[in-house]
Each structure stands twice: as structure tokens, then as C-alpha cells.
Amino acid sequence: MLLVIPFYVGDPREGEDLLRPLRAFGPPAADLVRYKPYVEHQAMFDAGVPHHWGYYWKSHYLPPLTDAAVDVLLESSWAKSSPTSYTLLFHMGGAIAARPEDSSAASGRDAAHAMNINAAWPSGGPSHPDVEWCRDYFAAMESHATGGVYVNFLHNDEGEARIRAAYGSRYDRLARIKAEYDPDNVFQSNQNIRPAPAGHG
């Protein structure tokens, strides 16, 4: 099944024109496109990640997909054991790619796709066989990936190297900014950029 989630901000008439070819492609199982506030759109999948479940995820940025990468996707996506575990593949480009890579803190403007491998189990608890499925799948895709990652798709235990991968060449500058405005690293309950040591200005 192909799930397409279009989102357009701007003149509604222009949005309808852009959506028309997608609707003409074939009858969808469900057409949920309508006018709505951004925050409602942003929350549309909240019900799919209930509290008290167990979760573990890993993510890659990917270049245009090769046959070899597609083979790994087909082989690994369904090797999970929990029916609630899943893989998302986001198509990038468009307005994201239109800006220079250094125009924002996050990396990935040159990526063709973002991949998110999600182990999810309703019984909760810290462990589940799909954690290893997620890690193995991630490792199998590593040679097909760019090396970068979207910062919001990092799990909470991936380490500084992966945080650096999320920010790329901007990491050191962000560390210097952190040293200026938060030298004691008070704000650290995120994917933390540690303040640059003194003398690394």
C-alpha cells in the first residue's frame, strides 16, 4: 500500500491545482485532504503512537534509491515480529532542497529520502525482539545512506557522533554558540550539542 500525505501552505486554489493530478492518478482508499490548521495536520499521527507502548527507532538520510537499496528495503521491512513495527520512507527535495545546505542548522537538504525504522510493541517495557530487527535493518542500509540523519529522528542513546551527523559542518559553530549562551549546558535534555571548550572560538 502506498500512503501519500500531501501538504500545501499557500493560496488554496493553487493547492487544489497541484493536488488534481494526484487525485486523477487513481481512486484512493481514502482522501482526507481538506483545509485545516497546521497544528491539526502535525498531530494527525499522534493516535498511532500511544503512550505506554515500547518504542525504538533508527534513521538514515538516503540518496536516490538504487536497486541494491530497494532490495534491502524489500528484504528487511517485513522481517519484524510485532505487527505494530513499521518503516517510513519520506521523499525529500522540493523547497527543502531549494535552499543552500548551510542555510539552517539541520543537515539533509541534499538528501533524496529520509528513512525511519520504527520498532513498536503494545506490551511496553524496555526490550523487544524488534529492537534488534531495527538495528540490523539500519546496519544493512548504512552502505546505501548519506551518513546524515534528521535530528528529530535520533533515538535518545545514539551518541555524539550521530548528533554531529545530524548537524554536519554546522556542529562546531553551534557548539561555539552554545558556549556563549549556555556555557553550563543547562539545556541538555535534547539531542545535546555540548558547549565548545574554552579557546575553540
Q: What is the pLDDT of residues 46-87, one digit of tens each?
A: 888 899 999 999 999 999 999 999 999 999 999 999 999 999
Q: Is residue 65 part of a domain?
A: yes
Neighbours of 31 (CB within 10 A): 10
Residue 182 in any domain: the answer is yes
| pLDDT band per the 50, 70, 90 thresholds, residue 199 | low
133: closest CA among 193, 54, 192, 190? 54
CATH code of the domain covering residue 56: 3.40.462.20
Query: Domain for residue 107, yes or no?
Result: yes
d(CA 115, CA 150): 9
13 shares a domain with 76: no
Q: What share of the chain has pLDDT > 70, as a percent?
A: 97
Question: Cα–Cα distance between 71 and 143 in angstroms, integer?
Answer: 13
Beta bridge partners of 87: 117
User: What's the rounded Cα separation, in Å, for the pair 162 and 148?
Assistant: 8
> Residue 35 above 90 pLDDT?
no
**149 and 111 within one domain:** yes
163 in a structural domain: no
The CA R_g of the chain, rounded to the nearest whole Å, is 19
| pLDDT confidence band for 134 (50 / 70 / 90) | very high
Q: Is there a single domain that holds both residue 86 and residue 135?
A: yes
Q: How many CB atoms lie within 10 A of CB 184?
A: 8
Nearest to 141 by CA among 57, 58, 55: 58
154 and 61 in a common domain: yes
Q: Are residues 66 and 18 in the same domain?
A: no
CA of 16: how far to CAs of 19, 20, 35, in Å? Answer: 5, 6, 10
Please give the tally of structural domains in the chain: 3
Residue 33 banded pLDDT, cuts 50, 70, 90:
confident
Distance CA 67, CA 61 (A): 17
Domain membership of residue 16 (yes or no) is yes
Asked, for residue 1, whether it belongs to a domain, the answer is: no
Smallest CA-to-CA distance from 60 within 133, 134, 1 is with 134
Q: Which amino acid is at 69?
A: A
Between the two ends of the chain, the Cα-to-Cα distance in Å is 51
